[in-house]
Amino acid sequence: MASMLWAITSTSMAASQATASSGLKVCTATHVTRQGGTVIRDTVFGLRNPDETATITIERIQAFGPGGHFLFDSDAFGFPAQPNLNVVLAPHTTSAFSAADLTGPLPGTHETFQVYIHYRLDIPGKPLWVSLSRRTRDDDGYEVTGITGYCSDMPIEE
């Protein structure tokens, strides 16, 4: 019985992945800047296309503060000017941006972000993967110090 349930679940998951054409990832992240710029803690959003054939295009990035207030929308401001951010991900490629790219350095702030990443696949395929890493900067430069936050898949009404 358990193997039959696993087969049904696996088939259902594979079918949903095979028919995905667009998606929405909702992530939480933290951005901390101390006065004087001595320490900055930031969240890096790693984007990955796990599919063998489909291309994923990041269509929009939005950010909202802890009270739901508007912080950033790529439709209004364009995508962050980040050399590691490629909004078109060919099969098995990666890209990245940070919470600081969305707001810039804000002295003395500690913000918890809610970030929406809207994407579309050119053909049915596997959904976008997003990983979050905490980046700490001191006088020596940037050092990735751990994984932080989480992302959830949200339903899209088309």
The model carries a pTM of 0.76
Per-residue pLDDT at 64 exceeds 80: yes
Residue 85 has pLDDT above 50, yes or no: yes
- Nearest of 13, 54, 28 to residue 149 by alpha carbon: 28
Residues of the domain holding 66: 2-154
Share of the chain above pLDDT 70, in %: 68
Q: Total structural domains in the chain?
A: 1
